[in-house]
Amino acid sequence: MPIKVDNLSKRSGNQWLFRDVSFDVADGEVFAIFGPNGSGKRELLKEVSNDSPFGGSKASLIARLFRPETVAGAMIFDRSRINSAKGPLFLDSPFNGLDSTERKDLAESLKNRTEPVIFTTTSFDDVLLADRAAILANGYIQQVGTSRELYHEPANRLVASLTGRCNLIEARRLTSSKADLPEFQTIAGEHRLFTQRTELRGLGAINSNAFLAIRPEQVVLSFGASFPEDNLLKGTIADINFNGPSTYVTLDCSGLTLEAMVTRLIGLNPGDECMVGMPPDRIRVLAD
């Protein structure tokens, strides 16, 4: 039985925990409620499960699908009970405390079900295991979509920052709404940047500040031939951070700080100069 949530709100005393929450979960869909600590995810899960025909009391299926044992304070799932459970599943932080093998096993168990599954998480890595997710923050659902949509098409600055590392650049729009490619001037460094085509309502007012978003892996470091249309800036390597299969490079572009991700970094050191490219079609305009 699909689950439909329509304008659900809840308050505790004089404080709203969440307001006007709406989403739907289809049969066989694994759906994540994702957000920072204290955002109201658990309370929302309880309300949704309580409204479900299978929910019963507010304890519903949340507690009954876990063993009582804990590891470092995290509840450990009982896969056999999950496989045999009837109706929709409502799981509170089910991936906490699991190693990579256990995470994979649990994800497979959830995806093999024919009923809806809703789980909460504070980790975007867990969202990657779901079919879709709702981001709950500041009392509202900020965006609903697949992990790819949330990562590459964030609705606002908050979503961009919650879904992974991101360069958020404050800038002022220079071009009119009729321009083929919008042009902005960064507040830090006063660089002129072209961005991807954006609907007028997403650009903000002319000469008003907006934020430009580009992920570190979309920033290109160049030491040879390059393409001027890629918003080339001259940068100096300020810091290098090894992160397993990737390395994050912090760059100072005349006062504008950027982060680039590379898979290999050979012969580069802090203080070295390079060209930094940001292709316009990779820069998303966030008017808020």
Q: What is the tens place of the pLDDT at every residue in 76-119?
A: 556 667 777 778 888 989 898 889 998 999 999 999 999 999 99
Rounded Cα gap, residues 11 and 214, in angstroms: 36
Rounded Cα gap, residues 213 and 155, in angstroms: 11
Strand segments (E) across the chain: 3-12, 15-25, 30-34, 66-71, 74-77, 89-92, 117-121, 132-137, 140-145, 167-173, 183-186, 192-194, 209-214, 220-222, 233-243, 246-253, 256-262, 273-277, 284-286
Q: 240 and 259 in contact (C-beta within 8 Å)?
A: no
The whole-number pLDDT of residue 103 equals: 92
Cβ-based neighbours of 229, under 8 Å, separated by 6 or more? 194, 279, 280
Nearest to 119 by CA among 104, 138, 133, 109: 133
The whole-number pLDDT of residue 76 equals: 53
Q: 26 and 2 in contact (C-beta within 8 Å)?
A: yes
Is the pLDDT reported for residue 251 higher than 90?
yes
Q: Is domain 167-286 given the CATH code 2.40.50.100 in the classification?
A: yes
In the chain, where are the structural domains located?
3-162, 167-286
Q: 28 and 113 in contact (C-beta within 8 Å)?
A: yes
Q: Is domain 3-162 given the CATH code 3.40.50.300 in the classification?
A: yes
- Percentage of residues in the chain having pLDDT higher than 90: 62
Of 75-89, 137-151, 252-266, where does the model show the most confidence? 137-151
The pLDDT mean for the chain works out to: 86
The whole-number pLDDT of residue 195 equals: 93
Is the pLDDT reported for residue 171 higher than 60?
yes
